[in-house]
Amino acid sequence: MTDLILTTFDWVPKTPRGYVRDIRVRWALEEAGLPYRVNSVPFRDRDAEHFSHQPFGQVPWLTDGDISIFESGAILLHLGELSDKLMPAEPHGRSDVKQWLFAALASVEAASQPWSFFKFSGDTEETQMRKFFDAFLEARLKHMETVFAGREWLAGSFSVADILMADVLRLVDRFDGLAAYPACRDYVACATARPSFVKAHTDQMAHFAAAD
Amino acid sequence: MTDLILTTFDWVPKTPRGYVRDIRVRWALEEAGLPYRVNSVPFRDRDAEHFSHQPFGQVPWLTDGDISIFESGAILLHLGELSDKLMPAEPHGRSDVKQWLFAALASVEAASQPWSFFKFSGDTEETQMRKFFDAFLEARLKHMETVFAGREWLAGSFSVADILMADVLRLVDRFDGLAAYPACRDYVACATARPSFVKAHTDQMAHFAAAD
């Protein structure tokens, strides 16, 4: 096997620590027991080399030999193809994992991210649009609550889809947005109690603290 | 090959016609020349059977034999694996297509969708949050402009990643959001000039008009 190298920022401000998206990749690598190294790029001065790997100037990206992949969802899919601890071998299970990887981003995070921007802004004005975004997230959580009422993990056994969905919902939980959704909250609690998450979180916090 | 069946609504209001996400799937099926049938479910009364295929009560979903897939990104990935007209066989090209499928949704549509909600609302109040969402989309388009300056299609040859990215940017173009981004606008124009898009668009319009 070639070296897997995860690239993240050298430093970030305190607020996003513990939530930088490299945690999704660390979590999957720890869960699968795949050996990897962590590489850093400057948070403040993002150069052409950075943009050649990540065209939006963000992190993370993963290199696997001569393949370089950005987007946490795409990286998780790639890792799922490397380990049956992250994606089952059976075709129906694989298809389920893939659809939930997309759903975590395009159906749930698409609603939770604008909502979280309002929360981060500290803006509490009850505008028409704010009510719209609140309702958009509520609708998605209501349906996820039904999904989790019938299953422990999204695609039969724990997979990269759960890493992505739990990380998306974890940010909602940070702002107490899951209070009315106990099954979603329990799901996040179960997922983040896994030793692989705890290790990934500890490592991310230590990585950024080392640069203070 | 088993039957591919695309499920969409029986009817939708006039405003979203031409933009319902089944167009992404129609477009890919036409591009690859894969035979398929279109099935309809009620827009107004969404039953348990509907939610068993699409847990958020939306469309489209695709059935391929006994596999049922929701999320347009996941469906496009599945179709890409069925046809080298939609995804190249070579590993680097496949990896590029996958990362751009995720990027179209999680990096570009994540910014264009909230922006489009403001546009659809008709709300023109210049709130702090509105300025934030405008800037969020501008940042993503600025980077996409650089990407398109250096290539015709996202992953070497035309692929499902272009179907998804062009459809995402097409909605921005509808509200004249690409005026300052000529490479993005040209990309949308080239993609939507393909006979496969024209057929998909005509078929979607006819499908909903038939139910009026």
For the stretch A149-205, pLDDT in tens is 989 999 999 999 999 999 999 999 999 999 999 999 999 999 999 999 999 999 999
Give yes or no for B128 touching A (CB within 8 A): yes
Q: For residue B118, which residues of chain A lie inside 8 Å, CB to CB?
A: 129
Instruction: Provide the whole-model pTM.
Output: 0.97
Please tell me the distance from the alpha carbon of residue B79 to that of residue A209, in angstroms, as a whole number. Answer: 44
Nearest chain A Cα distance for residue B98, angstroms: 6
Q: For residue B143, which residues of chain A lie inside 8 Å, CB to CB?
A: 51, 55-57
A154, β-bridge pairs:
none
Please tell me the distance from the alpha carbon of residue A169 to that of residue A186, in angstroms, as a whole number. Answer: 11
**In the predicted structure, residue A127 carries a pLDDT above the cut 90:** no
- Res. A139 pLDDT band, cuts 50 70 90: very high
Mean pLDDT on A103-132: 92
Q: How many of the other CB atoms lie within 10 Å of CB of B195?
A: 9
Per-residue pLDDT of chain B (212 residues; tens, 9 = 90+): 568 999 999 999 999 999 999 999 999 999 999 999 999 999 999 999 999 999 999 999 999 999 999 999 999 999 999 999 999 999 999 999 999 999 999 999 999 999 999 998 887 788 888 999 999 999 999 999 999 998 999 999 999 999 999 999 999 999 999 999 999 999 999 999 999 999 999 999 999 999 99
Please tell me the distance from the alpha carbon of residue B7 to that of residue B61, in angstroms, as a whole number. Answer: 5
A64, β-bridge pairs:
A4, A67
Nearest chain A Cα distance for residue B143, angstroms: 6
Task: Write b or e for each residue in B17-43: b if 16 or more Cβ atoms lie within 10 A of its Cβ, otherwise e.
Answer: bbebbbbbbbbbbbbbebebebebbeb
Q: How many of the other CB atoms lie within 10 Å of CB of A30?
A: 18
ipTM of predicted assembly, 2 dp: 0.97
At residue B2, the pLDDT reads: 66
Q: Is B106 close to A71, i.e. CB distance below 8 A?
A: yes
Search chain B and give the residue with CA nearest A148: B55
